[in-house]
Each structure stands twice: as structure tokens, then as C-alpha cells.
Amino acid sequence: MKAILSHTAGGPNTLEYTNISINEPKSDQIRICVKAAGVNFPDTLIIRDLYQIKPPRPFSPGGEVAGIIESVGSDVKDFEIGDRVLAVPGYGGFVTHINVPAVTAVKIPKNMPFTDAACFIFTYGTSHYALRDRAELKAGETLLILGASGGVGAAAIEIGKAFGARVIAAVSSAEKATFCKNIGADETIIYPKTLNRDAQKELSTKIKAIAGPNGVDIVYDAVGGDYAEPCIRSMAWNGRFLVVGFPAGIPKIPLNLTLLKSCQIVGVFWGAFTKRNPEQHQKYLKELFDMYSNNKIAPQITASFPLEEAAEALSSVERRESLGKVVLTME
């Protein structure tokens, strides 16, 4: 089978496109003939040994896949050969075939293309868990999304609107702002690519002007770095600041701001949630599939690459050039 492998820590240029063999699935596993794989920012971290998980090398990046089951382990009861599924292996997905524990797989709706399925669970799972569970978003609240044009950010726009929020999308360019408007954002803010102290104050002023006198109820921060503090300064009383990711660096937050705003800083670790509370995770997945079937959400795929061009796909995500989702296809 074909695979993208990481033999040494480094950027996308260190990856190898090669042939490898695959074992028979274990008793609790299924083998998937992979049709598509989502490309996510954590994939750019894991190949550099900068992610929470550090797999033994050689390994393939790729945390979410979709395809057709072609073999089933002896103890697996809920799947059969020919089922259309998505799966979240965590890594190992940039391949043409993969064995995964059956518990990591989910059957997909008949009308869902494999490309949509492969770009579904990471971004929508994260954003739904963040807004539904961690923030307890209510209709009528104001939601500010940092990094709104990326995969999780775009998903947060759609889910926020589906839940009845007023959505402010914060991005780094006019092109990205237009993209966010087109998928449902009510307002947009363009922030500079670097922030000094004066620029931080200016960003906070912009947010307050758009949010109104009460401030922002929820901040969905998928950027981090120097962008976090201006958002907290713009928060409403009893606001919730969601820590989703920090490609711009880990923020340094003056904790006195949380006292002055009586606000919360809330971590969002969706992957750990799915393992700690699998029953709730399954409930949330059903909600997401229902939203997809009712046309309330749909993966915003703006770039597709063949498997052998995985390095180029990862580079586009790493440089934060891509809008929405990027996908690899295997045929």
C-alpha cells in the first residue's frame, strides 16, 4: 500500500511517499480502504515532535480518515465489510489502507461524500464540544472567533449561527474576512499579523465597538499569542474564553482581568473528552450528523491534494494560507 512516512522530526519536506505492507487487523480492529484524509494543524506539529502525542518512527501523520471497510476483526460486532465509515486514528491516516480500533470508527450517512466525512469530525467535533459543552452557548449571545477562516474557526462560525449566536469573525486578511462572511459570520475584524502593545489596544477597541457596550460573551481562541489579551479585555461579565489552540504562541494572560470581568478561561481538549466520556461523545456526534443532514453545517473544503502531494497540503496549512479545510484524496 502507499503511505506518507515521517522518518525524522522536521517539516513537510522531510516526509517520504513510499510503499509499505499492512498486517491483518487485530480482533478488535477494522481495516479501511482510505478514500480521503483530512489535513489539520496538529499534523504539522506531530511530524516536528511538537504535539502532545509523539509516535514511534517511522509513522504516518493524518488524524482523520474516511473510506470503506474491507476487513473486520473477529471480535468486532457493529461493522461489516462494505460499510462506509470515518475514523479518528490520531495519526497514521495518510495511507491508502489502515487498521484502526473499531471504537474509533463511525458509520457515515449515505449522502455524505468521503471528502466531507474526512474533514468532519476533528473540526466540527472540537467546535461543537467547545460551544455546546464548555461554553454552554445560548441563543442571542455574542461569539468572537479568532482564526475564524481556518478549519475549526469555520466550523465554529457555522455551529455558532446554528445555535443562534451573533458571530464576529476575526481574521488576518480581507480575503479571509470575505470567506467568513460567505459562510455566515455577522461581522468581521481584520487584525495585523503581528501585534505590539499599541496594536493590542487598537484590536480591543475594535472588538468593543462591534460587540457593543456589554462586550463579547464567548471568545473562541484558535490563535493564541498576543491576540488573547485584547479579547479578554473585551469580554462581557460572566464571559467564557475558550482555549482551543495557539499557533501564534502560548498566551500570557494577566489573571486580574478574569477577576475584573468575572469571566472564565476554559480549556477545550476534545480528543481527551471523547475518551473520558464516550457516551456523551456519541450523543454529540448524532447531533452533528443531524445538523449536516439538515444543511446547517457542511465542511468548507477549499483545497484538495492527491496523497503523494501531502507535503504541499501540510505546508499550506502550516503557513496558515488555507481557508476552511484541506483534504487528501487516495484515488
Distance CA 11, CA 188 (A): 32
| pLDDT of 162 above 90 | yes
Q: What share of the chain is helix, strand, coil (3-state, %, to 5)?
A: 35, 25, 40
Domain boundaries in the chain? 2-120+299-329, 122-270
Grid cell listed for 200: 493590542
Fold for 2-120+299-329, please state it: Quinone Oxidoreductase; Chain A, domain 1 (3.90.180)
Question: Using one digit for the tens of pLDDT, what is the confidence trace for 284-314?
Answer: 999 999 999 999 999 999 999 999 999 999 9
Residues 6+ apart with CB under 8 A from 195: 203, 225, 226, 227, 230
The model's pTM: 0.91
Cβ atoms of residues 241 and 216 within 8 Å: no
Grid cell listed for 310: 501531502
Question: Using one digit for the tens of pLDDT, what is the confidence trace for 33-71?
Answer: 999 999 999 999 999 999 988 999 999 999 999 999 999
- The DSSP H or E segment spanning 47 is none
| pLDDT of 108 above 80 | yes
Over range 88-93, report the average pLDDT: 95
- The DSSP H or E segment spanning 156 is helix 151-162
What is the second-level CATH architecture of the domain 122-270? 3-Layer(aba) Sandwich (3.40)
| pLDDT of 179 above 90 | yes
- The DSSP H or E segment spanning 33 is strand 29-39
| pLDDT of 331 above 80 | no
Over range 188-207, report the average pLDDT: 94
Question: Using one digit for the tens of pLDDT, what is the confidence trace for 226-277?
Answer: 999 999 999 999 999 999 999 889 999 999 999 999 999 999 999 899 989 9
